[in-house]
Amino acid sequence: MSIDRRRFLQTSAVAAGAGLAASTGVLHAAQNQASLGPFAHLKPMTGGVVRITVDDRKARVEKARRLMAENKIDAIVLDSGTSLMYFTGISWWASERTFVAILPARGEVAYVCPKFEEGRARELVTIGSDVRTWEEHESPFEQIAQVLKDRGVARAGFEEYARFFVADGLRKAAPAVDIVIANPVTIGCRVIKTPKEIALMQCANNITNEAYRAVIPLLKPGMVADEFSALAAAAHRALGAEGSIGATFGEMTASPHGSIKRRPLREGDVVLMDGGCTVDGYHSDMSRTVVVGAPSRRQRDIWDLVKRGQAAAFAAAKLGAACEDVDAAPRKLYAEHGFGPDYKLPGLPHRTGHGIGMGNHEQPWLSSGSTDVLAENMVISIEPALYFAEIGGFRHSDTVLVTSTGYERLTKYPDDLESLIITERRRFLQLKGKIVRKAINY
């Protein structure tokens, strides 16, 4: 709600004292809108979202079993993390007290957890019912070893993100069991997204698109990065999701993930923004580079080259393409203009992109030396950037769905320079538009 409308409602309430009764419901709605500050016009965008179900997770377990058979793995042991959530729907804090799910190629899914957590574990378990427990003085690894023995497991897989002490503890408790990498199973399941997963990620990206639209006009000289990030988190919440947009200013954008240094935003600064949110555990991811005030000729030239670099990566991101070739495409262009080569600065010091899903960074990796190959329904980021110590970094990151005919961008926010120049006039016009929309929607 705008300040003027709030004052109007307050004045109306005074008039009510002369014989007009104000509606309590209307006043409460107005107060709720006012509490949202500059985001009162935003509405949650998660209505109608179709979430992942138990049947979806059971289908994932069956796919994992097929991949286990293909890779001669008898079971996979899932430590706390996104793969545990992916297959079982259980989110469990990764503490020193071991909690695991065991997915056997044959037999019932089993769980090992601390005895005092058994009640909570059973509430969370939706696939299988075999829950083994260990007391504080006992070894959880003996229980895991017993489950593997009961299921006739000779080769057990751990994914690469499993904590060492869990795999090592099992190795000592079950020395006859061959411990192998489970990536062909876990990544084999997660890297290709289902239509439902793609819809969740599109919803998350739609929310982040609108959050960017809401907060970019609020950038102004004197603002600090934490202030901007707080506004971005509030915008995401108003849109129905937990998310954030980090921002770094000026020369500090030369570090791809920012700096611990803090200073206020200045006229002429490059602002590098990187953010996203989650919907039912699935991530959005988008970066944009904004210039506050009129960009210099140098800024325009770098901006143009980065956009051409991203276009080269888009063109290379075809079905069946080697991920290292997608990474090489913008580097070749940058090298032709004297930047790099490879990871040298000024240039592109990081990979061109990565997979996105329940992990904000997951396979495939779009980098030199990657053996990954693009397949239909992979979701990846495309973000070849350029960084300069003296003027900062320029990066646009978009989330892309690999399709049978090429790719589809899930991030829709404008990425042309003119749309991302923040001037007082543009700020005024955009904020004016918000006020008009609020008045219309009231």
Between 200 and 426, residue with greater pLDDT: 200
- Percent residues over pLDDT 90 in the chain: 86
By three-state DSSP, how is residue 68 classified?
Answer: helix
By three-state DSSP, how is residue 226 classified?
Answer: helix
Q: Rounded to whole angstroms, how far apart are CA atoms 185 and 197?
A: 18
Q: Say if residue 94's pLDDT is above 60.
A: yes
State the DSSP code for 45: -
Reported as type and span, the H/E element at residue 324 is helix 323-336
**Where residue 136 falls among pLDDT bands split at 50, 70, 90?**
very high
Mean pLDDT of 58-75: 98
Tell me which of 6-20, 294-308, 399-413 is least confident.
Answer: 6-20
Q: What is the pLDDT of residue 32?
A: 47
Q: What is the pLDDT of residue 260?
A: 87
| Domain ranges (residues) in the chain | 3-35, 71-190, 195-438
pTM: 0.89
Q: Say if residue 169's pLDDT is above 80.
A: yes
Q: What is the pLDDT of residue 262?
A: 86
Q: In the structure encoding, which two tokens stand for residue 135, read together?
A: 């007391």
Q: Say if residue 344's pLDDT is above 70.
A: yes
Q: In the structure encoding, which two tokens stand for residue 317, read together?
A: 């991101």
Q: What is the pLDDT of residue 37?
A: 79
Read off the pLDDT of residues 251-273 as tens digits, 9 standing for 90 and up: 999 999 988 888 999 999 999 99
Q: Rounded to whole angstroms, how far apart are CA atoms 167 and 154?
A: 15
Is the link from the previous residue into 346 a cis peptide, with omega within 30 of 0?
Answer: yes
Read off the pLDDT of residues 16-28 as tens digits, 9 standing for 90 and up: 343 433 333 433 4
Read off the pLDDT of residues 282-323 as tens digits, 9 standing for 90 and up: 999 999 999 999 999 999 999 999 999 999 999 999 999 999
Partnered with residue 401 across adjacent β-strands are 379, 408
CATH of range 195-438; options 3.90.230.10, 3.40.220.10, 3.30.428.10, 2.60.120.10 = 3.90.230.10
Mean pLDDT of 237-253: 96
Mean pLDDT of 229-252: 97
Fold of 71-190: Creatine Amidinohydrolase; Chain A, domain 1 (3.40.350)
Q: Say if residue 50's pLDDT is above 90.
A: yes
Tell me which of 134-138, 400-404, 435-439 is least confident.
Answer: 435-439
**Among candidates 383, 384, 49, which has minimal Cα distance to 206?**
49
Q: What is the pLDDT of residue 25?
A: 43
**Among candidates 366, 365, 396, 398, which has minimal Cα distance to 381?**
398
Q: Give residues with Cβ within 8 angstroms of 240, minimum separation 6.
A: 44, 45, 46, 47, 207
**Mean pLDDT, the chain, whole residue set:** 90
Q: What is the pLDDT of residue 261?
A: 86
Q: Say if residue 9's pLDDT is above 60.
A: no
Q: Say if residue 276's pLDDT is above 70.
A: yes
Mean pLDDT of 351-376: 98
